[in-house]
A = this chain, B = another copy of it.
């Protein structure tokens, strides 16, 4: 099927998806999970073919993301069942008001319609995204990476088998077969057919979508996250938070890339931090004032604008919480920032002034995650302010409409 045909099929499946009752959706999700397990042999064989083709072509870390095992397929199936267990967001009345003229206005939660997502090598995103879209009443159009096309096709075949067992149309879950760049552009330009486009992947992909999309699009994921260690910081908390935010999983978007330290804390804190991070082989890139206190490389200006996604931390000494706020405003991607302080006024100032999706007091930025926020799941983390902001769970994949009951009112 061409991408254009697939998009028309997806659009035609919208009314059916929106009308599915909660129990029906949950039942379909369990059938899809069953089918993933039942077809795990075929999925693993397809994945082996993808891996064979990709070996030597893509980086080892990407190969690891591409690889499926029986355990990973079980995790996918469990993911589908976990989504089934979440509350249904659709149909909820958000507001109800009666106007003086007697009109009764109800603001009701509805699906977006067709959600297209462009992602890279991890095939588990295929099952995750399909489940989240189905549960939120949406039709999905999945456009995975070239490297994973055999795995994704086998996974979607299994999901279709689950849908068919439940008597639902395959058009609820759609995989773009063409993995050339042209198919991404088709999704970005599908005005009237795609209600929301969510890119998930590297900076280049997200930038291409934001710059070229003619359909509504959510910017996700890039995280230049900051930890500001205030003059009134508890040193023990500060050390463990910076260590955790930097080293617990450096490759993810909620990992910290920059540590700002108040000048009054720097002399005590920085040597302790240098010692602690040396054990994890973290490379430090230092502003001149930090470099006067601890060993490390001098920071270049671009080090404060880089998502390292690696064991590298840029460190800058600042004069005040306000300087920290200004630095963050100038360099952050609006994902997650934290202040470590025992001073409530400093914390309030920081939380009020920092314009990022998640602002922490005395906690690691690594908590910016749908699961950790109690959403039960996640379709990505929005770093823009139109539509969802921060982790996107089911509710964040919905819109609303007004249903107005009258009795012949005219204006």
Contacts and interface: CB of A to CB of B under 8 A. Distances in A.
Interface of A: 14-15, 18-19, 97, 99, 103, 105, 110, 112-113, 191, 195-196, 210-211, 214, 216-219, 234, 236-237, 240-241, 243-245, 248, 325, 329, 347, 351-353, 355-364, 366-368, 372-374, 384-387, 389-390, 399-411
A111 to B, nearest CB: 9
Contact of A406 (B19, B214, B218, B361): B361
A355 B403 CA distance: 11
Given A373-B402, A389-B400, A411-B244, A110 B361 contact: no
Contact of A112 (B362, B364, B374, B385): B385
Given A385-B195, A406-B362, A408-B363, A401 B357 contact: yes
A409 B195 CA distance: 38
Nearest to A91: B352
Given A244-B410, A386-B386, A410-B366, A403 B99 contact: no
B214 A191 contact: no
The 4 residue pairs across chains A and B that have the minimum distance between CB atoms: A363-B406, A244-B410, A216-B386, A385-B399
Contacts of A361: 403-406
A12 to B, nearest CB: 9
Nearest to A366: B411
Nearest to A240: B410
Contacts of A356: 401
A234 B386 contact: no
A19 to B, nearest CB: 7
A362 B216 contact: no
9 contacts: A196-B385, A216-B385, A359-B403, A363-B404, A363-B406, A364-B406, A364-B411, A385-B399, A386-B387
Given A210-B191, A244-B411, A329 B389 contact: no
A323 to B, nearest CB: 13
Given A210-B214, A362-B409, A390-B402, 15 more contacts: A15-B325, A18-B355, A19-B353, A99-B372, A113-B385, A191-B211, A244-B410, A358-B401, A358-B402, A358-B404, A361-B405, A363-B406, A366-B410, A372-B411, A390-B401
Highest count of chain B CB atoms <10 Å: which of A243, A364, A366: A364
A270 to B, nearest CB: 19
Contact of A97 (B243, B374, B384, B390): B374
A360 B104 CA distance: 10
